Amino acid sequence: MSIERLKHHLSGTFLVAAREVREQFRDWRVIVPIIILTLFFPVLMNYTANRLVNFVQQYDAPIIGERLIPFLLMVVGFFPMSISLVIALESFVGEKERLTIEPLLCTPLSDTQLYFGKLLASLTPPLLASYLGISVYLIGVIYRVGWRADPLFVLQIFILATMQALVMVSGSVVISSQTTSVRAANLLASFIIIPMALLLQAESALMFWGRYNALWWVAIGLLIIAGLLIRSGLAQFRREELLEREMDTLNLRWIWRTFWRFFKGEGHSLWGWWRSEVLQSGRKALFPSGLTVFVLLLGGYVGASQAKVFVLPAEYIQEYWNSSEIVSRLGGLQLLPTYTVGLVWFQNLRAIFLASLGGFFTFGVLGMLVLLLPFALIGYFMASLAQVGISPWLFLGAFILPHATLEVPAILLAGGAILRMGAAFATPARGQTVGEAWLKALSDWAKVIIGLVMPLLLAAALVEMLVTPRLAFWLMSR
């Protein structure tokens, strides 16, 4: 893109954003409550911090107050964003209900300029409210409590607040551009506010433990999700559909017929379906499976690095590893006495479905986190064994490798299918509606899971229960 084209594109975007911001600040019924609540909440948190610090000092526990004050700072930045989120939710559908969007859509501006202009305008009030709340809280806590924040930590909080606002506003604009009423948009906003509130709890846990460096990774993750949300909104935004869509109806019969048409494909028999449809969907999942390999290796590395942080007692490892109990239980094939092949298969499938469910709502991100957890545990135990002089490769070869030869390919295929399903939200649906594109991605995921992953996991469960204990017994008794 040339410099002139970039200037023209940005001028159109800022033109839309300036118009929207002027309209927002003219409506006192929206701005005044936001300002009042933004100023009142930091004052309330200052009062809370002051009382709490005085209380914990009576019991000689100042560290609780020291850790709670930064947490309240983050909360003060979050709540104004959630309050002013209504502006982003009304960015498209609100104007449609007020019959003021037609002149805007008839302008020669491109869809990208319209979308980014609305996004910037919707981002302005939440960010201003968040920055104002954080500043008021910081000033108050300095004078009332005497607590001064490290400048790097203040920068970190401002960056986190910016990333959270970007994610929430990006998601809200996507909702506003795809719904037909403000009421529906407000109801769907819970899918944004609730996950962000849960993230706030996770961030609070990191802050209470004093692991502030981990918050940088949270900010990076939020930036990635915001980018995916913006990409998804642009891919699905069409101005002509915005005017044509009058009422969304839930047609379960159409949903099932469309899904079955994509799922069945051109297969006329079970073998023909597996050969033509399942293998084709599996080939499509191969490229994102390469990214899954990187994620799983990263999980193993992260788990191994934690062995130096959460150290297992060397005496316990040596005693348990060298005990005759392992060999005797392996000899009797009782390493997993309460497990059966069906139960192991069910446990693995449950993890896959949980990862798929999380990946469906997070562009595959949460699904990858679920899949890497077992590899993080394996890396942790291998590093812990290496620290006390026990060969980690013996542990890997005896207890993991036999069934992992089947289980790992199944996980890679499942991870690739989850990433493709999540990427469907951010991929333009050429010649298809948004619903059809989502159903096609869901059918591809179902074909990979049913036709490839489930048989591989069943074979892995058989090997895990029948072969792995015997091989482990042979290696451990040498």
pLDDT digits (tens, 9 = 90+) for 196-239: 878 888 887 787 777 778 888 888 888 888 888 888 777 777 66
Residue with tokens 């990191």: 206
Between CA 54 and CA 63, with CA 57 as vertex, the angle to 5 degrees is: 110
Residue 434 has a pLDDT of 65
Joined tokens for residue 456: 């591989």
Tell me what percent of the residues of the chain surpass a pLDDT of 70: 78
What mean pLDDT comes out for the span 454-459?
Answer: 90
What gap in Å lies between CA 225 and CA 166, rounded to an integer? 9
Calculate the average pLDDT of the chain.
77
pLDDT of 305 > 80? The answer is yes
More confidently predicted of 347 and 177: 347
Q: Is the pLDDT of residue 460 over 60?
A: yes
User: In the predicted model, is pLDDT for residue 301 greater than 80?
Assistant: yes
With a cut of 60, say whether residue 428 has pLDDT above it.
no
Q: Could you tell me which of 228, 232, 168 has the C-alpha nearest to residue 200? A: 168
Q: What is the pLDDT of residue 245?
A: 58
DSSP SS3 for 433: coil
pLDDT at 240: 65
Q: Residue range 9-32: average pLDDT?
A: 73
The tokens describing 380, both together, are 């942790």
Look at residue 17 and tell me whether its pLDDT is greater than 80.
no
The SS3 call for residue 180 is: coil
Q: What is the pLDDT of residue 193?
A: 78
Sequence-ordered alpha helix ranges (H) in 237-364: 239-244, 252-264, 270-273, 279-284, 286-305, 314-321, 324-331, 341-361
Cα–Cα distances (Å) from 389 to 72, 119, 323, 382, in that order, read 45, 56, 16, 11
Higher pLDDT, 333 or 119: 119
pLDDT for 236: 72
**CB within 8 Å of 130: residues ≥ 6 apart:** 77, 78, 80, 81, 161, 162, 165
Enumerate the domain spans of the chain. 3-243, 252-477
Would the pLDDT of 64 be above 70?
A: no
Q: Please say if the pLDDT value at position 329 is more than 60.
A: no
Are 261 and 385 in contact by the 8 Å Cβ rule? The answer is no
Q: How confident is the model at residue 319 (pLDDT cuts 50, 70, 90)?
A: low
Predicted confidence (pLDDT) at residue 471 exceeds the cutoff of 70: yes
pLDDT digits (tens, 9 = 90+) for 96-129: 666 666 666 677 777 777 778 888 888 888 888 8
Supply the pLDDT for residue 258: 81
Amino acid at 65: G
pLDDT over threshold 60, residue 336: no
**Tell me, what's the pLDDT at 302?**
86
Distance CA 124, CA 81 (A): 10
pLDDT at 438: 79
Model pLDDT for residues 146-192, shown as the tens digit of each residue: 777 778 888 888 888 888 888 888 888 877 777 777 777 777 777 77
Span 54-66, average pLDDT: 65
> Which tops the pLDDT comparison, 382 or 98?
382
Instruction: Read off the pLDDT band of 431 (50, 70, 90).
Output: low
